[in-house]
Structure 1
Amino acid sequence: MLARLAPVITRLDLRGRALSARDLLTVLPRPELGVEDATHLVAPILEAVRVEGAAALRSYGEKFDGVRPEHLRVPAAAMQAALDALEPALRSALEESISRVRTVHAAQRPADFVVEVAPGATVRQRWIPVRRVGLYAPGGLAVYPSSVIMNVVAAQEAGVGGLAVASPPQASNGGLPNPTILAACALLGVDEVYAVGGAQAVAMFAYGALGSEPQDGDHLCDPVDVVTGPGNVFVAAAKRLVRGVVGIDSEAGPTEIAVLADDTADPDHVAADLLSQAEHDPLAASVLVTDSLALADAVEGRVTARAAATKHVERVRTALGGPQSAIVLVDDLAQGLAVVNAYGAEHLEIQTRDAAQVADQVTSAGAIFVGPYSPVPLGDYMAGSNHVLPTGGCAHFSSGLGVHTYVRAVQVIEYDQPALAVIADQIVAFADAEDLPAHGEAIRARGV
């Protein structure tokens, strides 16, 4: 008789407990190492890059990635070589992903508008792309050409003029980023790519970097206006620290999946989906919320079996066994919705009866995947949606990456003399009430 495998994921039983939104925030699974903790570790890295530029970037490449890059900016020949060597099947997959993501993001472009407030009084709103962006593509435990696509296509569809991509140097590729990353950049027409990873890449984008070797030039990398892209907790911490110096998309740290499921869900589907995110990172979070004890038991068994057989078994077991992962038992679907709304998952799957109607009741999630045939890996690669999404509860106030990330709304005000005259007395009344008489005088100076 075969020995039963020990469960790799814990349970949290919320049945029979009346918990407020605040209570839920304290009991739901989260990683022990949060962004706030990591900020203390990355702050010296940011300062070193700000002061020392390329010299610090090379040192951190050697320390964190095991290679001291000769070329921090990837030569054009290396980009073309990577594209030429790309396997046809993978090239086809990348091209299809680019096409689908471009189709969705083209539809995201906001429209300018003009409002006539009164005769001779108009307010126009223009959407203006930022000047330059820095796009991060992770490359530590796994390599993400898909993240290159998500970042670059959204910025291109927004009309951004200057795009720079950074991805960690690889010892196996002569200190350059992974060849598939380089090939994806070449497919997208991006020629400014840096062999820089982690928090140091965020610092390079935020502050710019002076060269330290002849091949760097005087200015290796100019500062950007916005830094985007997913990464580990240290990348998320670096983005938090440079916010204000530059804009950021969101604190996209270690990945998360939450699955809201009832007794109609296929336990093997749910287990496979939980593992699909656990293989990203030991800090990845996999959470099942269900009102079905039978489903919980079945998923636990399938998760345990799948974890034992998967390629990245140690990484998966660490992620599933960590405090950030759990099977959460609830009384009913209403409580389940309260739980997932309080959790605010990066990826939320709905595998219930009437899944589309349930999805419409979700108020906090980076992206929602509806029904048994919309698993998270679909969104990672081919759905057309963007997979750069807020984590760590940031979905309560942040959106996923999109065209909106790279544009600014600018209002243009134009009044003629009669239109200003109509409201001149009211403006002066406001100014007097706020004890700002020069405001009123600026109106009266126009003879109205």
Structure 2
Amino acid sequence: MEKKIIIVGAGLAGSLCALYMLQRGYNVTVYERRSDMRKSVMTAGRSINLALSKRGWTALKKVGIEDRVMEISIPMPKRIMHDLEGKLTDQYYGNEDQAIYSVPRGELNVLLMNLAEKNGAQIFFNHKCVDVNMERAELTLTNTLEDSNINIKCDLIVGADGAFSAVRDKMTRQDRFQFSQYYIDHGYKELLIPANDDGSHKIEKHALHIWPRGNFMLIALPNLDGSYTCTLFSPFEGEDSFKELNTPKKVTTFFNKVFKDFTPLIPDLVDQFFNNPTASLGIFKCYPWHIKGHCVLIGDSAHATVPFYGQGMNASFEDCRVLDELIENYSEDFSLVLREFSKSRKPNGDGLQDLSLHNFIVMRDKTADPKFLLQKKIEQKFSQLYPHKWVPLYTMVSFTNISYSDAWKIGMSQEKLMADIMSIENIDELWDSDAVMQKMLDLSI
């Protein structure tokens, strides 16, 4: 009998999950609380630009749509650091052929929804999940336009409805279900650098631009139309915080002082600052990610994190791929599939969250630190000499499918080793010597 799958949430994770389920011949219906984004104009606001890397591409390739996504992507093989005086420093992510890709969230979501519908999915918008019967795989949804309820029974409910998941909220009623949330002191505000009059980019196109300033950080990712989606990360309270930057003069003074080479790029900076919302950043944990063989969480519903490794979307797409592989491995026995999915993916969700918080510190405080840059040069040389001994943490996360949990453990071991190396007397002069390379080899065995 054809299995009926209900997916709650038509975002990136839900839409890709629909494609995976359709590929198996399932009957797939998607319900989305919001209106159809394809019928509205997309603006800057609350959509941190997305960085697509190996894990995401692997998941897209498995459903045969990587070429379609590549058409709307821009390769970024490096970071470009902007210091206080506007001096630029290039930092390549890996080898010459390695890059992460800037992808417009809205366009990607539209593409995935269109492909899901083309392949047979039904997507209903303005439908809010108000109740879930986990024992019977039944949902109650409210059509918010008509203020009417519908009840649906299915074989599997997939909660892909984001950090504030209604499906997860209903799961909290279950005995021994664990849930926690943690907000960092920083929030974010999105800004937009417009293209030049001829449609060209104002700054280097093929790079992720970062203005690291300790307690503040600004990043910019390129768009195909010549613009850049920028994100300012700042504390909610304290000196020069979002709370304190409450007049046009204060905003102008702050940007001229802290991001002086950025300010000329946005003529309407002050208007954007006050018109675009300020949003919170948090980490959401829960366990288990499933209830029996009837309901499962994927993406932000299960493991929402802060965006500082650019891995939220990639992890969500990996969820879809792994879930599909488990359906294959366990011959569609959803009870076994979901149990193994929770067991295997939970450590990876935790690992991603640890990595994301760690990279926040790296991006904010260390990417402009000469000692940190020297450490990266040492790691890079050692990795080139002994690639089987040392894979840099960023490479593990962004350019392989090594589990997040393993990458985190290995990365922390590497940090301890590098602390010993960086304590060597005159390391700034000896960094590329045979003696230092041998010391690393000895420590890494």
Specify the TM-score bucket, using the shorter chain as the normaliser: under 0.3
Structure with the higher helix share, 1 or 2: 1
Greater C-alpha radius of gyration? 1
